[in-house]
Copies of this chain bind each other. A is one copy, B any other.
Amino acid sequence: MLLLNLSIDCVVLGFDKDQKIKVLLIKKFINERNDFQFALPGDLVGVNEDLLSGGKRILESLTSLENIYLKQFYTFGSPDRTKHKKDQSWLKMYRQQPDERVITVGYIALVKMEEYIPHPSSFAVDAEWVELSMVSKDLAFDHNLILEKGLKYLREQLDHQLISNLLPAKFTLSQLQRLYEILLDEKLDKRNFRKNISKDSLIIKTDEKQQGVAHKPAHLYTYKS
């Protein structure tokens, strides 16, 4: 019989005014000399906690971020995912049984960065938005893999529920296209983009147009609720 521990790790991606994607990382001390390591916000799930509630509690406990729409994207269960030497020191400080197997469920979120100012707490000594190109290759456990898989999920799915958090309630197709281009890191053809969007039954044209713009005002669109 296998008994193991269950954790949740959160890939929280923030979108800033410069339209760059950053990821929320925590910093944690891995020994009493205060050597540190960066990690995705994550921790063990409670005895009677369901996964989503656990994800929200853990994210809030480490970074103070509340009311974030989290979506499950993948579960990581390699038997040796916590066995790497770089992680042993932290595990010995914080876990009663540092050798036990831990599987982790990955949750992803996408937020406007300026609306969420993280504050570290619990074992996080810092919590900060880090540009993707600046992320350490030595995150805790398999967190580099989890981050990579989360970004892949985001790009492959372009999930409306995740993306709608980054837009005002009503938006123009140019705004939407710009957002897709940043997420996909690729220029999109305007005509094809609009044709595809017009087939998407979850994006609805409203009767309203932009106001107070110098150019010809564009139609406003909204997500079907």
Give the residues from 65 to 122 in chain A that come closer than 8 angstroms, CB to CB, to chain B: 72, 74-75, 77-79, 95-97, 100-101, 103, 105
Is A6 located at the chain interface by the 8 A CB criterion?
Answer: yes
Give chain A's interface secondary structure class. Answer: loop
Surface stretch bound by B, among A28-36, A48-56, A204-212? A48-56
B77 pairs with A51, CB closer than 8 A: yes
CB-based contact B6/A45 at 8 Å: no
In A111-137, the 8 Å CB interface with B consists of: none
**Chain A residues numbered 17-71 whose CB sits less than 8 Å from any CB in chain B:** 44-51
Give 19 A-B pairs besides A1-B96, A2-B6, A72-B75 with Cβ atoms closer than 8 angstroms.
Answer: A1-B5, A1-B95, A1-B97, A2-B46, A3-B5, A4-B4, A4-B5, A4-B6, A6-B103, A45-B77, A47-B79, A49-B79, A50-B78, A51-B77, A72-B74, A75-B75, A75-B105, A77-B105, A192-B199
| A44 partner residues in chain B, CB cutoff 8 A | 1-2
Chain B residue contacts of A48, Cβ below 8 A: 79
Q: Are A77 and B2 in contact (CB under 8 A)?
A: no
Interface residues on A, range: 20 to 34
Tell me, in angstroms, the Cα distance from A192 to B196 when the chains sit together: 11
Interchain nearest-CB distance for A107 vs B (Å) = 10
Q: How far is the CA of A75 from the CA of B100 in the complex (A)?
A: 20
**How far in angstroms is the closest Cβ of chain B from A10?**
15
A109 to B13, CA, bound (A): 31
Residues of B within 8 A of A103 (CB): 6, 51
What is the distance, in angstroms, from A57's C-beta to the closest C-beta of chain B? 13
CA separation between A21 and B171, bound complex, in Å? Answer: 40
A152 vs B59: C-alpha distance when bound (angstroms)? 28
Chain B residue nearest to A77 in the complex (CB): B51
Give complex CA distance A78, B77 in Å: 18
Q: How far is the CB of A75 from chain B (nearest CB, A)?
A: 4
Could you tell me if A79 and B100 are in contact, using CB atoms closer than 8 angstroms?
no
